[in-house]
């Protein structure tokens, strides 16, 4: 299966093949837990926005936005 957006969802496990010549470099990067896995932007919701439209605008998954915003209700977002 191909990865969408070149990332793996944090709630799932994936096997990814890498060239043998890059195996150590990839392993080192994956083991470095000091670097943040995601960079978040702050977006101010405007009238007429939907989470789906915001996800599309930022080329991300709706589930990623919901996961990054605990307690948010996808069908009842507030302006501001």
Provide the pLDDT confidence category of residue 9 given band limits of 50, 70 and 90. low
Res 45: pLDDT: 95
Tell me the pLDDT of the chain averaged across its residues.
83
More reliable by pLDDT, 74 or 4: 74
DSSP state of 75: T
Q: Are 74 and 51 in contact (CB under 8 A)?
A: yes
Question: What's the CA gap between 43 and 60, in Å, rounded?
Answer: 13
41 close to 58: Cβ distance less than 8 angstroms = yes
């Amino acid at each position: 299966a191909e990865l969408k957006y070149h990332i793996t969802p944090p709630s799932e496990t994936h096997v990814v093949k890498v060239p043998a010549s890059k195996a150590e470099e990839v392993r080192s990067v994956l083991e470095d837990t000091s670097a943040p896995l995601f960079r978040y932007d702050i977006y101010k919701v405007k009238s007429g926005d939907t989470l789906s439209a915001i996800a599309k605008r930022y080329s991300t998954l709706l589930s990623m936005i919901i996961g990054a915003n605990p307690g948010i209700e996808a069908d009842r977002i507030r302006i501001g």
